[in-house]
Amino acid sequence: MTIIQKIAMTAGALKNCQESNNTEWIERHTETLDSIAKNNLPSGSGIDCGTLIDKDKSGSDKVVLREG
């Protein structure tokens, strides 16, 4: 599985948990996305503040990244 596939899958799962108010898994999926961003997305070389995953705009069908 690629990083982008993992982000999309996790973002989709996060949205489902938010809709069902499953707070335990909301926290787990949020932590997973934050970890992926910190450990796998670009930082430096013109992206001085790192790259973040926009959890509100991302889902299983699209991934939105923004400067941190």
Which residues lie across from 66 on neighbouring strands?
Answer: 52
Q: Which domain holds residue 47?
A: 3-67
User: What's the total number of domains in the chain?
Assistant: 1
Distance CA 4, CA 53 (A): 11
Is residue 22 helix, strand or coil? Answer: coil
Q: How many residues comprise the chain?
A: 68
pTM: 0.89
Residue whose entry in the numeric block shows the structure tokens 């938010």: 18
Interval 48-64 mean pLDDT: 92
Helical ranges in the chain per DSSP H: 3-20, 23-40
pLDDT recorded at residue 21: 97
The pLDDT assigned to 7 comes to: 98
- Phi and psi torsions of 48, nearest 5°: -65, -30
What are 2-49's pLDDT values in tens digits? 999 999 999 999 999 999 999 999 999 999 999 999 999 988 766 567
